[in-house]
């Protein structure tokens, strides 16, 4: 099936540094999402994105977070500066712009495990 690729799979950084998580969504998808999952816990919505703009962001999407997709390249999540509580797995997802069942299918990447020391 369609694949969403996330790079890197693991990232270890020191608190206060900047990190950029990269996502290559399914080619014809136009809606993009970031979710955060702490080990063994709930998948939590961070932000969704369409046509170059943030649609909605949650309370978890702090001022230190930003997203962009310049010129149809990677969809990125940047955290600057990072904090200890940012340690988690970050999942990128994309979906097809249509109504009905196909619109409801989010395709997820395998995640980036971020460890902030």
Binding site for another protein (CB under 8 A): 4, 30-31, 33, 35, 41-45, 48, 50, 55-56, 58, 91, 95, 97-99, 101, 103-111
Which run of H or E residues covers position 98?
A: none
CA–CA gap between residue 57 and residue 68 (Å, rounded): 13
Nearer to another protein, 65 or 108 (CB): 108
Q: Are 5 and 107 in contact (CB under 8 A)?
A: no
Minimum distance from residue 85 beta carbon to another protein (Å): 19
Minimum distance from residue 18 beta carbon to another protein (Å): 25
């Amino acid at each position: 099936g369609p694949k969403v690729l996330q790079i890197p799979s693991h990232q270890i950084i020191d608190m206060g540094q900047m990190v950029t998580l990269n996502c290559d969504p399914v080619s014809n998808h136009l809606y993009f999402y970031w979710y955060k999952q702490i080990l063994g816990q709930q998948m939590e919505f961070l932000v969704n994105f369409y046509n170059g703009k943030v649609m909605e962001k949650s309370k978890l999407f702090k001022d230190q977070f930003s997203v962009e997709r310049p010129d149809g390249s990677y969809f990125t999540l940047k955290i600057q500066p990072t904090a200890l509580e940012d340690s988690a797995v970050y999942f990128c997802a994309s979906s097809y712009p249509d109504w009905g069942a196909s619109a409801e299918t989010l395709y997820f990447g395998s995640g980036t495990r971020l460890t902030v020391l």
